[in-house]
Amino acid sequence: MIVTNANGTVTFRIFLPHAARVDLLADFTQWRAGPIALAREHPGWWSATVEVPGGEHAFAYLVDGSIWLADYAAHGVRLNPHGGWTSRLVVEPAPAPSSPGRAACV
């Protein structure tokens, strides 16, 4: 499951009590080039909180280095070009910083 936090980060959580390792791979991690290791939480949950740029993204979990697993509690799933399923994540873009107002001249 995914949770979009008030500070703009996204928390990824999955229940895999028998896994030895779970990594988050996504377009925003360049897939295998920059995996994010999830931390094990008792009793079998894994999680990571990540800053994700605004927009639509694809991601999956890599379990024990060999099993690709989509998150069906995300914003949907889609078939990837390799015949497997990836999860869809939509992150609202960060609001543009407001510019200071101009004083009106009378």
pLDDT at position 80: 87
- Could you give the CA distance from residue 8 to residue 53 in angstroms, rounded to a whole number? 9
pLDDT attached to residue 25: 97
The torsion angle over the Cα atoms of residues 41, 43, 44 and 50, rounded to 10 degrees, is: -20
Report field, pTM of the whole predicted structure over 0.75: yes
DSSP string, 40-92: EETTTEEEEEEE--SEEEEEEEEETTTEEE--TTSS-EEE-TTS-EEEEEEEP
Residue 106 has pLDDT above 50, yes or no: no
Architecture per CATH, domain 2-91, reads as Sandwich (2.60)
Domain boundaries, the chain: 2-91
Looking at residue 57, its pLDDT comes to 95
Give pLDDT tens digits for 60-105: 999 999 999 999 989 999 998 888 899 999 998 766 666 555 554 5
**According to the model, what pLDDT value does residue 93 have?**
79
The per-residue pLDDT of the chain, averaged, comes to 89
